[in-house]
Amino acid sequence: MRTSHQHGVRLPEGVAGEHGVLSTLIDLCRSRAAAEPDRKSFVFLGDGVEESGSLTLAELDRRARAIAVTLLKQAPTARARALLSYPPGLEFHAAFLGCIYAGLIPVPVAPLDGTRVNAKWTRVESIAASSESRLFLSTGPLLAAAEPVLTGTDGLARLGRVATDEVSPDLARQWTPPVAAAEMVAYLQYSSGSTGVPKGVAITHSNVLHNLSLIYDNTRRPADDAGLPRPSSVSWLPPHHNMGLICNVLDPLFSGRDVTLLPPMTFVQRPLTWLRAISRLGRADSCAPNFAYDLCVRRVTDAQRRELDLSRWEMALVGGEPVRADTLDRFSAAFAVAGFRREALSPAYGLAEATVMVTAVPVGQGPEVLRVDSEALAAGRVRPAASAQGSRELVGCGPIHPLSTAVAVDRETGKPCEEDEVGEIFVSGPSVASGYLNAPKESAETFMGTLPDQPGERFLRTGDLGFLHSGELFITGRAKDVIIIAGANHYPQDIEATVEASHPAVREFGTCAVSVDDGAHERLIVLAETTTAAAGGGESDEPVTAQEIKREIRRAVHAGHRIQVHDVVLLKPGTLPLTTTGKLQRRDSRDRYLGGSFEAALIE
């Protein structure tokens, strides 16, 4: 790849299009559409099986130009912000690029419906206020369905509404290119909200183009050297999430690949549809969070696995949330019968503040797993474990790209850590955004990190803890999530894994460990969802009691981590708050516990 700060970003060799410097996303889309106008790059499977919609590159460009013309007639000011709230499909693609083509700033949000009990509308309202958006874009049917919410919510009622699916493509002829430059904001990406109030990351054209180039480099493979194009990809990720926006819309344009899309809820309800789509493609790539691979293990039967052919799944990227070694093991073992190769797994690390990707394990290398001593890790040191007891498995997330810097920094001294010492991960490079919209204090705290031996270099303080080992980045947890009791650090995901294994009645991936200050000490609180059987649906002659479950949780945590559990709350399945991509919201869980809003499961 010919990419640098000085020389800008060019399309990868072998991808059709103008190979001069790309300054904006308009350059990217127009170049690709001119080079391969009839290429059907985007396919949507409405039911997860049959094609219900598609877009060629020329159609995408034409619809984007037509939408741009329409938006400019309604935009109150240049560079106005517009909320994009779309149901699954391809309308989002045209609307997102339509905003870019108009010189407006798109703000992707979750799709709304007409029910006030839908928690999404409160988040969308807060994003509308934060971004100072003036327009609300969606499809005609969704606008009609969401009418009660849009008119009944002060923060949304003032927005001008545009049904982009009703825009005539003939308007494309009236389009004229807007004023656009590499350092102008292309879109606002709101964080997933897993660690607090969502903030709008201002992503420039330069940021996203460099990150697309970094993604291409980080996912290089032998097939590239053989002159083969990148394989088609399959995605069910929601496009309002940063990982979904890149995978579903922008990476296919940059890497020259095609993409098959499924509705997110189709995957959640029937994860087999995702694997079948990959199987049908043959040579394929796909990206998903850790929980998706676990869901497939739990919900796809042995007979269904034998019907699949995953032998040509070239890259199975795992990102968007902490990667668990046991998940990789279970998935690899479960789908070996379908030809899945563990070497296809590519754990990755990224965050919205760095556009999306920071690192990824090279394709075909397979993940590296370190088993480390838990006590040493709690003290900030990485030491090999003598045995499985008292240990933790950590998954490597790949090497640092040559044009980026990632450093573990001691949070007390502000100095870089030595290798195999845990610190906060600082990141710099052309993919890192300049800050949050309308949040100067938070921007300064997050985006203006410095290191004494690199004066003048601006670093993103990620808030994630980790270390470097043999040049590879390992993430140990969120700094704000770490539980500190009696001077020792405890990672909540470790405690949660112990709780899950403590009793059969505890629901897998349904636990949350947080700490609260009682005025004298930090206390450990465990929130645990219970299975249906535990709630009274089992067939045992001796029903499980809450007292028994709590006793086993306390015993397991004390044995595994040498700390006492102050309180255990048993919850109904599906109670713990999650983000749209399945991340546990620990801060929200803690606040709800303190507010007494959790309803305990009736097992007593």
Q: Which of 544, 537, 539, 541 is nearest to 503 (CA)?
A: 544
> Same structural domain for residues 470 and 493?
no
> Same structural domain for residues 497 and 449?
no
578 pLDDT above the threshold of 60: yes
> Same structural domain for residues 468 and 488?
no
- pLDDT reported for residue 194: 44
Q: Which residues pair with 43 in a beta bridge?
A: 54, 260
Where residue 571 sits, what CATH number does that domain have? 3.30.300.30
CB-based contacts of 323: which residues, under 8 Å, 6+ apart?
290, 347, 367, 395, 397, 475
Q: Which of 379, 399, 383 is nearest to 391 (CA)?
A: 383
Mean pLDDT of the 511-523 span: 80
The residue count for the chain: 604
> Same structural domain for residues 72 and 160?
yes
> Same structural domain for residues 420 and 373?
yes
Higher pLDDT, 7 or 543: 543
Judged by average pLDDT, the poorest of 314-323, 400-409, 416-425, 479-488 is: 479-488
186 pLDDT above the threshold of 80: yes
> Same structural domain for residues 578 and 540?
yes
Mean pLDDT of the 490-501 span: 87
604 pLDDT above the threshold of 90: no
Beginning with the edge strand found earlier in the chain, give each strand of the sheet holding 423-428 in spatial order: 369-373, 391-399, 472-478, 460-469, 423-428, 405-409
DSSP states of 404-469 as a string? -EEEEE-TTT-SBPPTTB-EEEEEESTTS-S-BTT-HHHHHHHH-B--TTSTT--BEEEEEEEEEE
Where residue 146 sits, what CATH number does that domain have? 3.40.50.980
- pLDDT reported for residue 523: 87
Q: Which of 323, 372, 376 is nearest to 489 (CA)?
A: 376
Q: Of 158, 180, 202, which residue is a domain's last?
A: 180
Computed over every residue of the chain, the mean pLDDT equals: 91
Does residue 517 form part of some domain? yes
How far, in Å, CA of 149 to CA of 154, rounded? Answer: 9
Does residue 106 form part of some domain? yes
Where residue 442 sits, what CATH number does that domain have? 2.30.38.10
pLDDT, tens digit (0-9, with 9 covering 90-100), for 252-309? 999 999 999 999 999 999 999 999 999 999 999 999 999 899 999 999 999 999 999 9
Does residue 348 form part of some domain? no
**Domains of the chain: total:** 3
> Same structural domain for residues 108 and 173?
yes
> Same structural domain for residues 31 and 154?
yes
535 pLDDT above the threshold of 50: no
Does residue 289 form part of some domain? no
Q: Of 153, 180, 207, which residue is a domain's last?
A: 180
Does residue 516 form part of some domain? yes
Does residue 500 form part of some domain? yes
Q: Whole domain around residue 453: which residue ranges? A: 368-479
> Same structural domain for residues 373 and 475?
yes
350 pLDDT above the threshold of 60: yes
Percent of the chain whose pLDDT exceeds 70? 93
6 pLDDT above the threshold of 60: no
Q: Of 438, 464, 479, which residue is a domain's last?
A: 479
